[in-house]
Structure 1
Amino acid sequence: MVALPSLAELEAAARIVYAALPPTPQYAWPLLARRTGCTVWVKHENHTPIGAFKVRGGLAYMDRLKRERPHVKGVVSATRGNHGQSIAFAAGRAGVHATIVVPHGNSVEKNAAMRAFGAELLERGHDFDAAKEAAMALAAERGLEMVPSFDMDLVMGVASYSLELLRAAPDLDTVYVPIGLGSGICGMIAARNALGLKTRIVGVVASGAPAYALSFAAGKPVATNAAETFADGVAVRGPDALALDIIRANAERIVQVGDGAIMAAMRFYYEDTHQLAEGAGACALAALLQERDLMRGKAVGLILSGGNIDRPLYAQIIGSGA
């Protein structure tokens, strides 16, 4: 059994986060309730300085790095965008140079945001996993600290959003959380357990990137040959072993949702709340709609994990459908 952070440890990490940003809101939206047949609380992680929850983890990670290795030469990490923005934002505050590796064809607007936060941006490989391999090679070549996309410091930082949501709405029956490499859902698990709540936690992946769902079912890491989804925040081919252990021991289930359902959920977020959700950010709503009959009449939390999507793609999605 993996030892999870205590409430005191989570609150200490939250204090680091709050030195840079305030808590984000959570609202119960009546039109979403009408659409889904249940009370729906949305955690708005699209309201952070980088437009995504990942900033919390970067701040906690960089705080420990600067305390334990104050003379670190620099950091490098791989990303599809939000993790890279997090590291760039936190590194800039800490006075540390950040190099971020993205795959070719990555989001133009996310790339621009990372550069604006001061990162050196490099394009390597055809997808996230290939970019990660390039980042690891660069760390060895330049003597840089490799920042992983899953780490317990990251988990403790992002758990602050879960503490906020679960304290504001402690009677939630179920919370749906999108899974990229797992820091968000593991942070939710850590917060739920530390608060002693019985809230069920359901992970969500894209059906075109089902590695975590396959691994959850198999009881061991199962990688896929491709991650074919427009929702770049969940486009992962291989699960993290530690994250998988935590999820398997504590989550209720993992739901797969198709790209069409994710796009529809993005439109519903706009129609019902006038909030912009990126693909990964809309996965939780897509899963709730898929399980609407199971959840009818219950109180449900949805993690809107981010709102970073290129304008032309968002315009295409928001303008399509009924």
Structure 2
Amino acid sequence: MFDLSQLEHAQEVVAAAMPPTPAHAWPLLAQRLGASVIVKHENHTPIGAFKVRGGLVYVDRLKRERPGIAGLTSATRGNHGQSLAFAAGRYRLPVTIYVPRGNSVEKNRAMQAFGAELIEHGEDFEAARLEAIRQAEARGLEIVPSFHPDLVRGVATYALELLRTAPDLDVLYVPIGQGSGICGCILARDLLGRKTEVVGVQSTEAPSYALSFAAGKIVSTETGNTRADGMATRVPDPDALAIIAKGASRIVQVTDDEIGAAVRAYWTDTHNLAEGAGAAPLAAALQEKTRNRGKRVGLILSGGNIDFDLFQKWIAQEVVTTPDRMAV
């Protein structure tokens, strides 16, 4: 999909807009997991999520190749749309974002604050995505998919930063939404020649990639009713699945209760706010605590854009856990 020099060029594009995000070792998380832990804090980007990197690289290439482009449109549950709005603002491009009805109020407000025209359509992401495609054709706009080589190359810059900072990670847990993050980690690892095991994480309520990984073919789900909206994907991208099938060790499924416990753990152990998808890697590492004992574990905290009401629900919720799954 790209070589190391192309990835390093993407890092230069990203660096022009934001500094590298921190990668911290947190002793309380290490005690909780019984392992050395490095957290890559993509919740510290200008939009509070990793996807800003992909938007910057995508729009940079588009403006160089097609300077007269009329504008962008896409569908999102939030972070992808914020990424495009942020990048389009830097390059002075109009952007229209479609979201499903009932989408995160706070993510909607953030996209609008970055300059996006926001339109609610349909009951889930897939319905919003199809409407965005229809409107792009009707209005002559560039449709930006959720998975694209530029987006993968952009988000892979966080893996480049992490794996150069912590080259000896044994295992890296990465949430899967539409697949750009985990694909970026796999490709960056391979380009750097690292031996780090890459493990995907999905919700039990939206397991389309996990089911597809196990079956060796695309498996869609009828619903994606997880509170972790960044992982609420019903239809996997075939290109993403091909990379994941070749380069990931496995995909771990976590429940919303386990994700809630991980949100609380991040808050108590690091005082960082994690959205559901951002906390899912910690939930998976806790689920595999025995397997990881004594190892060097990397966790991608992919974003912190969680609605306050949902944060309160997860913080207040009593979670029943097995002895191997520590709760706060």
* TM-score above 0.5: yes
**Which runs of structure 2 are paired with 1:227-306 in the superposition (5 Å)?**
227-306=224-303
- Specify the code of the residue in structure 2 equivalent to 1:42: V
Rounded Cα–Cα distance in structure 2 between residues aligned with 1:315 and 1:26: 27
Runs of 4 or more consecutive aligned structure 1 residues displaced over 3 Å after TM superposition: none
Give the superposition deviation at 1:316.
2.0
Give the superposition deviation at 1:211.
0.2
Give the superposition deviation at 1:91.
0.5
- Specify the code of the residue in structure 2 equivalent to 1:252: S
Q: Secondary structure at the match of 1:303?
A: strand
Alignment-derived partner of residue 16 in structure 2: 19
- Specify the code of the residue in structure 2 equivalent to 1:190: L
Alignment-derived partner of residue 44 in structure 1: 41
Rounded Cα–Cα distance in structure 2 between residues aligned with 1:257 and 1:310: 20
1:164 and 2:161 aligned: yes
Q: For each residue in 1:196-231, what CA deviation from the matched residue of structure 2 results, as whole angstroms up to 9, or x when unmatched? A: 010000000001000000000111111111101010
Which of these residues, 123, 148, 151, is aligned with residue 148 of structure 2? 151
- Specify the code of the residue in structure 1 equivalent to 2:248: A
Rounded Cα–Cα distance in structure 2 between residues aligned with 1:262 and 1:71: 44
Q: Secondary structure at the match of 1:238?
A: coil
Size of the alignment, in residue pairs?
319
Alignment-derived partner of residue 120 in structure 2: 123
Give the superposition deviation at 1:190.
1.1
Q: Percent identity?
A: 65
Give the superposition deviation at 1:317.
1.3
Alignment-derived partner of residue 31 in structure 1: 28
**What is the TM-score with the length of structure 2 in the denominator?**
0.96
Q: Secondary structure at the match of 1:239?
A: coil
Give the superposition deviation at 1:320.
2.6
Q: Secondary structure at the match of 1:141?
A: helix
Give the superposition deviation at 1:165.
0.6
Rounded Cα–Cα distance in structure 1 between residues aligned with 2:2 and 2:293: 33
Rounded Cα–Cα distance in structure 1 between residues aligned with 2:301 and 2:21: 11
**Unaligned stretches of 5+ in structure 1?**
none
Rounded Cα–Cα distance in structure 1 between residues aligned with 2:307 and 2:170: 34
- Specify the code of the residue in structure 2 equivalent to 1:88: A
- Specify the code of the residue in structure 2 equivalent to 1:207: T
CA RMSD of aligned residues (A): 0.7
Q: For each residue in 1:167-186, what CA deviation from the matched residue of structure 2 results, as whole angstroms up to 9, or x when unmatched? A: 11111000000000000001
Alignment-derived partner of residue 201 in structure 1: 198
Q: Secondary structure at the match of 1:65?
A: helix
1:181 and 2:188 aligned: no
